[in-house]
Amino acid sequence: MSYFVNRTDVEPERRTGHISYPMLNESHGCLRGFSSGITYYTETEYPAPGIHEDQEGFVVMEGTGWAKVGEEEHRLEPDVCFVAPAGVAHTIKRDPASDHVKVCWFHGAVK
């Protein structure tokens, strides 16, 4: 087991509107459902929202766009962080002038 992983060594998961690289999980020592990865959001319209049984945090690393969590919408740019609570729909879109919105995401178990 290694505690380290490089995005170039991860098989991408391609879905409409985004490409995800699941990076850290139990095989790297994560406990109680914690996982982390990188996603590139590529569409200028919101793709279908995600809804999870656990909470998900995001850190915007590159690009500009918008995020919608429940009914709240917020402008995205690098260094913005936000959370999608368990059971709440959330989605991200890029600005037309931006190639993508790159985020690092973290899933965490809910007690």
The DSSP 8-state label assigned to residue 98 in this structure reads S
Cα 32 to Cα 35: distance, rounded to the nearest angstrom: 9
Whether pLDDT at 12 is above 70? yes
The pLDDT score that the predictor gives to residue 110 is: 67
What are the tens digits of pLDDT across the range 40-75? 999 999 999 999 999 999 999 999 999 999 999 999
Q: Could you tell me the pTM of the whole model?
A: 0.93
Cα 108 to Cα 111: distance, rounded to the nearest angstrom: 9
The pLDDT score that the predictor gives to residue 14 is: 95
In the chain, the largest separation of any two C-alpha atoms, in whole Å, equals 41
| Domains located in the chain, CATH noted | 7-108 (2.60.120.10)
The pLDDT score that the predictor gives to residue 1 is: 79
Cα 101 to Cα 47: distance, rounded to the nearest angstrom: 13
Residue 86 pLDDT class (50, 70, 90 cuts):
very high
